[in-house]
């Protein structure tokens, strides 16, 4: 018989050696175990989601209004703040941001988006702004706990959703005044018109398509930037969505994210036929996809947990419905799909934070999978709850309505598949 203790010692010694070598080389060892900071943040956000967000979910879904008091509660505990975002982002593994989003959206997605919608504007300023612009505008997206504010990121237009190259909103430079003049209409903007700070993607040279886009900050109270129609929605109803109109909207030259010199250099490169590093809107989406996937996961997990508890309580034909293989297998598959999606989300978040190139569109994969899992899991949850699942007395129908947007915004499922198929094949799939 082999001496297992010797084998164990050898294996441990080898592991230690391998770990110390990789650590010495500055490479963190692979682990899926969360560190104490991550666990603490997860618990903190979960506590807020359970104690404050969930109890308010039904009311704000029915009212279809921005839940200002809940956002203020989040600001008071520091969750809705520049500092919290910075802390989530600072985690070198990249996992804290998706973990916090999953927990918050587990509480409720509509309120979750009312709290996190600002992050899209922040991501754009963070990704494309100069340090001065970040310092000036990001805090203004949040305001203070006594006077909370919101940010809005406006790329989509009535005729430019999936195809951002169709953006017609124009930005023209008035050299004499060092001002940019914006004209156009933005559609479906989260927090559009009620935000303190709007980030607008506009075309500075239409002939260049999406490579001629730039991102502009519209400071609070700027004339010519107005809310259009507020959209009534299928789900995510506590989150405000509206058109934004820009009519001769003048902003100082300093509101161009990244600055004019950088823009001129980039446009010159494009005009010479050289590859531009990235496009304004696409940069923001690429960085935010795993986070958006994590939000979908939160909804899916909430519906799965609700359905599991229900199936263990509900009796038909003299037994718990979970004792039927049909129900139990559905629940097993729901759990399986959620966990699989989370691994894709964590991988993409980790890659993004390490600065790894998404060779196979791993960011898109994570959002695609998590969004589709959320729609499927929430639909199954309704089925498991039967008639109750279909009523507004039980939360799974709301979760199902909320989940659907995750196959539409930040790139529809079809667009994610397009991105992935192009990445893996090298062909320009249409």
Ligand X SMILES: Cc1cc2nc3c(=O)[nH]c(=O)nc-3n(C[C@H](O)[C@H](O)[C@H](O)COP(=O)(O)OP(=O)(O)OC[C@H]3O[C@@H](n4cnc5c(N)ncnc54)[C@H](O)[C@@H]3O)c2cc1C
Q: Return the active site residues.
A: 410
Q: Pick out residues in 216-245 that bind ligand X (CB under 6 A).
A: 233, 236, 241
Regarding 346 and contact with ligand X (CB under 6 A), the answer is no
Neighbours of 227 (CB within 10 A): 18
Q: Of the two residues 71 and 154, which places its CB atom closer to ligand X in the complex?
A: 154
Residue from 174, 169, 183, 256 nearest 219 by CA: 256
Q: Given the complex with ligand X, which of 180 and 409 has the nearer CB atom?
A: 409
The DSSP call for residue 256 is B
Binding mask 98-137 for ligand X (x = CB under 6 A): ----------------------x-----------------
φ, ψ dihedrals at 60, nearest 5°: -75, -25
Nearer to ligand X, 77 or 415 (CB): 415
Does residue 169 belong to the site contacting ligand X (CB under 6 A)?
A: no
What count of other Cβ atoms lies within 10 Å of the Cβ of residue 220? 13
Do 413 and 407 contact (CB within 8 A), yes or no?
Answer: yes
User: How near is the Cβ of 21 to ligand X at its closest, in Å?
Assistant: 46
What stretch of H or E contains 151? strand 151-154
Question: Under DSSP, is residue 271 helix (H, G, I), strand (E, B) or coil?
Answer: helix
Q: Which two tokens stand for residue 319?
A: 């037994």
**Of the residues 85, 214, 365, 405, which one makes contact with ligand X according to CB under 6 A:** 405
- Sketch the per residue contact string, 356 through 395, with ligand X: x for CB under 6 A, - otherwise: ----------------------------------------
Q: Report which of 265, 174, 166 is spatially closest to residue 208, judged by C-alpha positions.
A: 166
Q: With binding defined as CB under 6 A, does residue 351 bind ligand X? A: no
Contacts of 132 (CB under 8 A, 6+ apart): none
The stretch near ligand X (CB under 6 A) out of 12-20, 86-94, 131-139, 156-164 is: 156-164
* Residues contacting ligand X: total by CB under 6 A: 20
Q: Report the residue from 96, 156, 169, 279 that binds ligand X according to the rule CB under 6 A.
A: 156
Region from 33-41, 71-79, 336-344, 403-411 binding ligand X, contact rule CB under 6 A? 403-411
Rg of the chain (C-alpha set): 23
Examine residue 194 and tell whether it contacts ligand X (CB under 6 A): no
Instruction: Pick the closer one to ligand X by CB: 195 or 382.
Output: 195
DSSP H helices, 160-279, are 260-271
Backbone dihedral angles phi then psi of residue 405, each to the nearest 5 degrees: -65, -20
What is the DSSP code string of 72-137? HHHHHTTSSSHHHHHHHHH-TTS-HHHHHHHHHHHH-HHHHHHHHTHHHHHHHHHHHS-HHHHHHH
Q: How far is the CB of 236 from ligand X (least distance, A)?
A: 5
Least distance from ligand X to the Cβ atom of residue 323, Å:
39
Bridge partners of residue 217, in order along the sequence? 199
Which residues in 240-299 contact ligand X (CB under 6 A)? Answer: 241
Give the nearest residue (CB) to ligand X. 161
Which residues of the chain form contacts with ligand X (CB under 6 A)? 120, 153-156, 161-162, 188-190, 233, 236, 241, 405, 408-409, 412, 414-415, 418
């Amino acid at each position: 018989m082999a001496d297992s203790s010797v084998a164990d010692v050898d294996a441990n010694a080898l592991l230690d050696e391998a770990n110390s070598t990789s650590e010495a080389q500055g490479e963190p060892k692979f682990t899926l175990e969360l560190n104490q900071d991550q666990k603490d943040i997860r618990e903190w956000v979960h506590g807020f989601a359970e104690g404050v967000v969930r109890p308010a979910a039904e009311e704000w879904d029915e009212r279809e209004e921005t839940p200002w008091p809940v956002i203020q509660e989040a600001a008071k505990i520091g969750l809705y703040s520049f500092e919290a975002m910075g802390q989530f982002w600072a985690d070198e593994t990249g996992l804290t941001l998706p973990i916090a989003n999953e927990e918050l959206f587990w509480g409720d997605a509509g309120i979750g988006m009312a709290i996190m919608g600002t992050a899209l504007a922040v991501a754009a300023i963070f990704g494309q702004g100069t340090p001065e612009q970040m310092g000036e505008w990001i805090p203004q997206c949040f305001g203070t706990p006594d006077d909370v504010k919101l940010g809005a990121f406006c790329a989509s237009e009535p005729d430019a959703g999936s195809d951002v190259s169709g953006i017609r909103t124009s930005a023209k430079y008035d050299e004499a005044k060092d001002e940019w003049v914006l004209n156009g209409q933005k559609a479906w903007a989260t927090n559009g018109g009620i935000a303190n700070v709007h980030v607008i993607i506009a075309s500075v040279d239409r002939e260049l398509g999406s490579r001629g886009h730039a991102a502009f900050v519209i400071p609070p109270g700027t004339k010519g930037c107005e809310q259009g129609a507020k959209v009534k929605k299928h789900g995510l109803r506590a989150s405000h969505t509206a058109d934004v109109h820009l009519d001769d909207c003048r902003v100082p030259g300093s509101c161009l994210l990244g600055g004019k010199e950088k823009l001129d250099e980039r446009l010159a490169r494009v005009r010479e036929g050289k590859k531009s590093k990235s496009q304004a809107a696409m940069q923001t989406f690429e960085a935010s996809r795993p986070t958006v996937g994590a939000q979908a996961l939160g909804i899916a997990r909430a519906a799965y947990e609700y359905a599991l508890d229900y199936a263990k309580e509900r009796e038909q034909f003299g037994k718990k419905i979970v004792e039927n293989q049909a129900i139990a297998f559905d629940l097993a598959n729901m759990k399986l799909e959620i966990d699989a999606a989370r691994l894709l989300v964590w991988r993409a978040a980790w890659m993004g934070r390490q600065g790894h190139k998404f060779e196979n569109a791993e960011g898109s994969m994570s959002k695609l999978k998590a969004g589709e899992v959320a729609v499927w899991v929430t639909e199954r949850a309704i089925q498991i709850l039967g008639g109750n699942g279909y009523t507004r007395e039980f939360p799974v129908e709301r979760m199902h309505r909320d989940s659907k947007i995750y196959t539409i915004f930040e790139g529809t499922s079809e667009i994610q598949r397009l991105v992935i198929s192009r990445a893996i094949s090298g062909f320009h799939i249409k």
